[in-house]
Amino acid sequence: MWIYEKKLQYPVRVSKCDPRVAKYLIEQYGGADGELSAALRYLNQRYSIPDKVVGLLNDIGTEEFAHLEMIATMIYKLTKDATVDQMEAAGLGAHYTIHDKALYYTNAEGVPWTAAFIQAKGDPIADLYEDIAAEEKARATYQWIIDQTDDVDLQDALKFLREREVIHSLRFREAVEILKAEREQKKVF
């Protein structure tokens, strides 16, 4: 089971109301390579992956939910004081029609989150390679968003998240090597 803790993994500060950047950040909320996709992808793959890497998928999947909460906090803080006109100018007019200021799991273009964003092949190497690719894509997305804002407070938390993608990718690569070594060992007999 999971137990909620009333704290963010890393402090999230924003220096101004900025619905324009909030719109881009929605990509990391409900987009294909976003944090919701990441959490659900890894936690779902756990059941059929070899025991040696279950712990890693479990823990990275759990950390992704902490990242999802950080992204939600950013979007909430960037939009909470925005006027309807500002939402409209930022390209969030349709979002406002449907959701007001509520958050919703879509990508930056408003496409709803779908399970088709993620995969579970049952083949451990194929699944881990997908996980590595997902981390690299998320890292790239964070970089593009960092480039799209001049808010240094926001950039600080985004850089933290970007670095977490780097570590997750590294650990998944190690998991691949662990499984390869195990496979070689079995061949000896």
Partner 1 sequence: MDGNTTVDQEYYRMMEELQQLDFALVELTLYLDTHPDDMQALQQFNQLSQQRQQAAYRFECRYGPLMQFGHSYSRYPWQWMDTPWPWQV
Reduced to 3 states (helix: H, G, I; strand: E, B; else coil), residue 125 is helix
Does the annotation list 135 as a binding residue?
yes
Of 158, 133, 157, 134, nearest to 144 (Cα)? Answer: 158
Does the annotation list 64 as a binding residue?
yes
Residue 175 is a binding residue for partner 1 (CB under 8 A): yes
Q: Which is nearer to partner 1, 42 or 117 (CB)?
A: 42
Phi-psi region of 175 (alpha: psi -120 to 50; beta: other; left: phi over 0): alpha
Does the annotation list 69 as a binding residue?
no
Beta bridge partner(s), residue 112: 106
Name residues contacting partner 1, limited to 85-124 (CB under 8 A). Answer: none
For the purposes of burial, counting CB atoms within 10 Å of the CB of 81, is it exposed (0-12), middle (13-18) or buried (19 or more)? exposed
Residue 166 is a binding residue for partner 1 (CB under 8 A): no
Binding residues (CB under 8 A) for partner 1: these are 3-12, 53, 55-56, 59-60, 63, 69, 72-73, 76-77, 80, 167-168, 171, 174-175, 178
Residues in binding site for Ca(2+): 59
